[in-house]
Amino acid sequence: MGYNLTWNDKSLTIKLHGIVDTETQKGVLEIYKDPKVDKLDSILWDGRSVDKLSVSKNDVVLCSAYAIGQSFTKPNVKVAILVPPKIDFKPLTTFTEKVNSLSSWEAKLFHKVRDANDWMDRRLPVNT
């Protein structure tokens, strides 16, 4: 369980690893309290090093609510969620559906770094 944050000028990469559970999510949600979020154009949730996604639908709904709330002060952010094919990512579709329908943010799931980069129009090294 864990994560690392990489803040750039207008983007944030949240690199997740190990088992992602409710406690991991609570820690990551603290980013929404950081004033730097108001300057972001894109957020990448990089889950390529995740071994298991162990979050409930309520956890995902809570995460959606944070993003939707943030969209009122910083509209038009792209959120890419990069998941390896081995992970059951179906719970994450709740996040993308809620964010896309209830905010000005766009959220999308990806299996390939290049696809996420192209969609967000930014560059994350393919081998990181």
CA distance 37 to 52: 27
Kindly report the CATH class assigned to 2-120. alpha beta
| Global confidence as pTM | 0.87
* pLDDT over 80 at 124, yes or no: no
Q: Where are the domains of the chain?
A: 2-120
Handedness of CA 97, 90, 92, 110 (dihedral sign): negative
What value does the mean pLDDT take over residues 9-19? 91
